[in-house]
Amino acid sequence: MSGENPVIEPRDVIRVAKAGTVYVVGAVDKPGEFPIKDQENMTVLRAVSLAAGPNRHSAPQKARIIRETGGKKQEIAAPINDILRGRRPDVDDQKRDVGCSVVRVRRDDDGRYVAVLGDPLNRRIDAFTPIVELIRQAAADPQVVAIKQTLYRTSSNSPIVDALAAAALAGKEVTVIIELLARFDEKANISLATRLQEAGAQVVYGIVGYKTHAKMLLILRRENQKLRYYTHLGTGNYHPNTARLYTDYALLTADPEIGEDVRRVFVQLTSLGKLNKLHKLLPAPFVLHRALLEKIEREAQHARDGRPARIVFKINALVETQLIQALYRASRAGVKISLIVRGVCCLRPGIPNVSENIEVRSIIGRFLEHSRIALFENGGNPEILASSADLMDRNMFRRVEVCFPIENKKLQERIRRDLDYYLCDNTQAWILQGDGGYARLTPRDGEEPAMAQQRLLEETKK
pLDDT at position 342: 96
Task: Spell out the per-residue pLDDT of the chain, length 462, in tens.
Answer: 444 556 666 666 665 545 566 666 666 666 666 666 644 566 777 677 666 666 655 666 777 776 666 666 666 777 776 776 566 766 433 222 222 222 333 444 444 444 332 333 444 444 567 788 888 888 888 899 999 999 886 666 778 888 899 899 989 999 999 877 655 456 666 778 888 988 899 999 878 788 899 999 999 999 988 999 999 999 988 877 777 788 899 999 999 999 999 999 999 998 867 788 999 999 999 999 999 999 999 999 999 999 999 999 999 999 999 999 999 999 999 999 999 999 999 999 999 999 999 999 999 999 999 999 999 999 999 999 999 999 999 999 999 999 999 999 999 999 999 999 999 999 999 999 999 999 999 999 999 999 999 998 888 766
Question: How far apart are the C-alpha atoms of 316 and 320, rounded to whole Å?
Answer: 12
Amino acid found at 12: D
Q: Is 177 left (phi over 0), alpha (psi -120 to 50) or beta?
A: beta
β strands within 320-428, DSSP E:
336-341, 358-363, 368-369, 373-376, 383-387, 399-405
Catalytic residue among 57, 213, 239, 370: 213
Q: What confidence score (pLDDT) does residue 2 get?
A: 46
Return contacts of 383-388, CB within 8 angstroms, 24+ apart. Answer: 383/295, 384/412, 384/415, 384/416, 385/282, 386/233, 386/235, 386/249, 386/251, 387/235, 387/282, 387/288, 388/213, 388/214, 388/215, 388/234, 388/235
Nearest to 58 by CA among 24, 28, 81: 28
What is the structure's pLDDT at 297? 98
Contacts of 272 (CB under 8 A, 6+ apart): none
Which residues, 6 or more positions from 329, have their beta carbon under 8 angstroms from its beta carbon? 296, 297, 300
Instruction: Name every residue whose Cβ is closer than 8 Å to that of residue 265 and which is 6 or more positions away in sequence.
Output: 214, 216, 275, 278, 281, 283, 400, 402
Does the pTM surpass 0.95? The reply is: no
Q: Which fold has domain 282-461?
A: Endonuclease; Chain A (3.30.870)
CA distance linking residue 126 with residue 128, whole number of Å: 7
What pLDDT sits at residue 39? 43
pLDDT of residue 327: 98
Per the annotation, the verdict on 213 as an active-site residue is: yes
Q: What is the 8-class DSSP label of residue 101?
A: S
Q: What is the DSSP letter of 391?
A: B
Smallest Cα–Cα separation from 314: which of 372, 359, 362, 364? 372
CATH 3.30.870.10 fits 92-280, yes or no: yes
Q: What is the pLDDT of residue 21?
A: 65
User: So what's the pLDDT on residue 71?
Assistant: 63
- Please report, for the chain, the start and end positions of each structural domain, with discontinuous segments joined by +: 23-91, 92-280, 282-461
Residue 363: closest CA among 445, 455, 289: 455
